[in-house]
Amino acid sequence: MINFIVGAFVVWIAGLLFLLGRGFNLGRLTLNNVAPGETYRDSPGWWRSWKRDLGSTTDPTCLSEVGREYRKRAIQNGRIKLFWLLGGFLFLFLFWYFQI
Query: What pLDDT does 42 receive?
Result: 59
Which residues in the chain land under pLDDT 50?
A: 46
What count of Cα atoms within 13 Å lies in the side-chain half-sphere of residue 94?
6
Element (H, E) at 85: helix 65-99
User: What gap in Å lies between CA 88 and CA 67, rounded to an integer?
Assistant: 31
Query: What pLDDT does 52 receive?
Result: 54
Query: What pLDDT does 4 receive?
Result: 86
Burial call 41-72: b when 16+ CB within 10 Å, e when fewer: eeeeeeeeeebbbbbebbeeeebeeebbebbe
